[in-house]
């Protein structure tokens, strides 16, 4: 249910530059984003730091994931918008609202398929859209009218409840990691696989 508390005119916002070393992350940030840092690093390396962090003074209000990625890359400063005109209670609520608002809308898969097709025609790597390649493959498959089972999807990434389940960890330099992920993502897209584990199994079987 929408809540209308009346329009509030915010103070004019101005993009400022903040030193990464000075920024303080919110200690009770309810978003778990450590696992997403490598993906955000890839996006920033590809597109640059295009979305300012929201701050109140040196305290981060929104943009913790982008800040972690910036630190990982070694950036010394980032663009930011200061909401210092807001009382602390509103800042607390705004932090939650900014993250929750991403869930307000749904994706139009038919429109997504058109965008993916256009990007593919231009030779753009779809992994940089932020979508998992298995999801991309499924959307393109549905758009083409082919909804039948994909035999290669039988490659099983495993189930953690299985007593024989094994988790593997690989250590490699960032450039090598990017190359490996691009290769696995391509295999996912070409074969309609759900994740990189399935792509790795498919590669081994090939």
Question: pLDDT tens across 56-91, in order?
Answer: 999 999 999 999 999 999 999 999 999 999 999 999
- Cα separation, 155 vs 22, in Å, equals 47
Residues whose CB is less than 8 angstroms from the CB of residue 7 and which lie 6 or more positions away in sequence, other chains included: none
Q: In the block, which residue shows the tokens 């990007």? A: 119
Q: What is the pTM of this model?
A: 0.67
Q: What Rg value do the Cα atoms of the chain yield, rounded? A: 21
- Residues 22-50 have a mean pLDDT of 95
pLDDT score of 133 more than 50: yes
CATH 3.90.1530.10 fits 15-103, yes or no: yes
**What percent of the chain has pLDDT above 90?**
53
pLDDT tens, residue by residue, 112-124: 999 999 998 998 9
Q: What pLDDT shows up at residue 197?
A: 76
Helices marked H in the chain:
37-47, 64-73, 88-100, 109-121, 133-143, 174-191, 196-205
| Bridge pairing between strands 59-62 and 15-19 | unpaired
Residue 5 has a CB neighbour count (10 Å cut-off) of 5
Domain boundaries, the chain: 15-103, 109-205
């Amino acid at each position: 249910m929408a809540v209308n508390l009346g329009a509030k005119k915010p103070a004019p916002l101005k993009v400022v530059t903040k030193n990464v070393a000075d920024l303080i992350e919110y200690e009770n940030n309810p978003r778990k984003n450590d696992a997403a840092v490598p993906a955000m690093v890839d996006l920033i390396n590809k597109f640059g730091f295009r979305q300012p962090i929201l701050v109140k003074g040196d305290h981060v209000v929104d943009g913790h994931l982008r800040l972690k990625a910036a630190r990982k890359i070694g950036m010394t400063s980032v663009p930011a918008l200061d909401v210092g005109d807001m009382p602390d209670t509103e800042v607390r609520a705004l932090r939650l609202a900014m993250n929750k608002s991403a869930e307000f809308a749904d994706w139009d898969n038919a429109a997504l398929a058109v965008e993916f097709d256009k990007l593919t025609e231009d030779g753009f790597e779809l992994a940089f859209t932020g979508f998992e390649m298995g999801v991309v493959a499924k959307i393109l498959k549905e758009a083409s009218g082919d909804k039948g089972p994909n035999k290669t999807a039988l490659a099983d990434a495993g189930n953690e409840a299985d007593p024989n389940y094994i988790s593997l960890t690989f250590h490699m330099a960032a450039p090598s990691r990017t190359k490996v992920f691009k290769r696995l993502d391509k295999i996912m897209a070409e074969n309609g696989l759900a994740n990189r584990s399935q792509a790795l199994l498919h590669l081994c079987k090939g």
